[in-house]
């Protein structure tokens, strides 16, 4: 960006508002003051226009850290949920937060479903959804990218019960343990 005096007593402004690879602007002015004002005006236009916003380089893991610092420290089990959310971010490739969307999370769920049960994935979905909802409520983030995405359906397993013989074996094994709290049972319990 320079203003040069020409041989005809006019001033030539030559500038590259977006750097040397961007558009070049050349204009001639009668006075140096006019050239300076135009240069300032042009730079303000390039820097303040909505089509040239500052790039948001916040990553998904950065949002997890922000959520943890602002809210999650007061929760029980906060370290576990932070660890889970960090793992999700890592497996997804820690994308820019603005690029994280349902498609990325759906691909994550699909790959994860080969290793764990749907219930675990639904728990992770709940953590991620809660994180985004809290950040939106605190006006730290604009929207929840997985809002409206349904959780996976899974069949809840039937409850298992021990037979009287299995109960006896269990109590016998607990009696062998050195920990005195391992074999505490109500006084009305019959062995």
Residues 69 and 105 reside in one and the same domain: yes
Alpha-carbon span 24 to 148, nearest angstrom: 46
Select from 119, 137, 155 the last residue of a domain. 137
Please report, for residues 36, 86, 151, the alpha-carbon distance to residue 111 in angstroms, rounded to integers and kept in the order given.
Answer: 58, 17, 15
Select from 113, 137, 161 the last residue of a domain. 137
Residues 132 and 64 reside in one and the same domain: yes
Q: Can you say how many angstroms the Cα of residue 3 is from the centroid of all Cα atoms in its chain?
A: 46
Q: How do beta strands 2-5 and 25-29 pair?
A: unpaired
Residues 40 and 107 reside in one and the same domain: no
| Per-residue confidence (pLDDT) for residue 74, from 0 to 100 | 75
C-beta of residue 11 within 8 angstroms of C-beta of residue 1: no
Select from 109, 137, 165 the last residue of a domain. 137
pLDDT mean values, one per 10 residues, the chain (191 residues): 87 85 88 91 77 78 93 76 94 94 95 93 95 93 93 86 90 82 67 57
In order, the DSSP letters of 92-154 are TT--BGGG--HHHHHHHHHHHTTTS-HHHHHHHHHHHHHHHHHHHHTTSSS--TTTTPPPPP-
Alpha-carbon span 120 to 114, nearest angstrom: 12
Tracing tokens 């037979």 back to the chain, one arrives at 163
Query: Is 162 among the domain residues?
Result: no
Domain, as residue range, for 16: 2-48
Query: Is 30 among the domain residues?
Result: yes
| Per-residue confidence (pLDDT) for residue 176, from 0 to 100 | 84
Query: For the purposes of burial, counting CB atoms within 10 Å of the CB of 47, is it exposed (0-12), middle (13-18) or buried (19 or more)?
Result: exposed
The alpha carbon dihedral of 65, 67, 71, 77 has a sign of negative
Residues 7 and 38 reside in one and the same domain: yes
Query: Is 42 among the domain residues?
Result: yes
Q: What total of structural domains would you count in the chain?
A: 2
> Is the entire prediction scored with pTM above 0.85?
no
| Per-residue confidence (pLDDT) for residue 52, from 0 to 100 | 57
Query: Is 168 among the domain residues?
Result: no
Query: Is 107 among the domain residues?
Result: yes
Enter the tokens of residue 121. Answer: 């994935």
Residues 26 and 91 reside in one and the same domain: no
Residues 96 and 126 reside in one and the same domain: yes
Query: Is 161 among the domain residues?
Result: no
Query: Is 106 among the domain residues?
Result: yes
| Per-residue confidence (pLDDT) for residue 1, from 0 to 100 | 57
Residues 69 and 107 reside in one and the same domain: yes
Query: Is 87 among the domain residues?
Result: yes
Residues 108 and 132 reside in one and the same domain: yes
Residues 67 and 38 reside in one and the same domain: no
Residues 73 and 104 reside in one and the same domain: yes
């Amino acid at each position: 960006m320079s203003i040069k005096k020409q041989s005809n007593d006019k001033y030539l402004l030559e500038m590259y508002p977006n750097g040397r690879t961007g558009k070049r602007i050349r204009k001639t002015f009668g006075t140096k003051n006019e050239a300076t004002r135009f240069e300032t005006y042009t730079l303000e236009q390039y820097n303040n226009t909505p089509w040239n916003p500052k790039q948001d380089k916040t990553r998904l893991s950065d949002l997890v850290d922000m959520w943890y610092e602002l809210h999650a420290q007061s929760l029980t089990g906060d370290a576990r949920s932070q660890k889970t959310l960090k793992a999700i971010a890592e497996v997804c490739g820690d994308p820019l937060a603005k690029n994280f969307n349902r498609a990325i999370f759906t691909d994550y769920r699909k790959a994860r479903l080969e290793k764990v049960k749907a219930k675990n994935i639904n728990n992770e979905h709940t953590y991620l959804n809660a994180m985004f909802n809290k950040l939106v409520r605190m006006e730290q983030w604009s929207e929840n990218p997985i809002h409206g995405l349904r959780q996976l359906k899974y069949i809840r397993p039937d409850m298992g019960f021990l037979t009287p013989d299995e109960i006896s074996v269990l109590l016998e094994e607990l009696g062998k343990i050195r920990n005195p709290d391992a074999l505490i049972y109500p006084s009305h319990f019959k062995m």
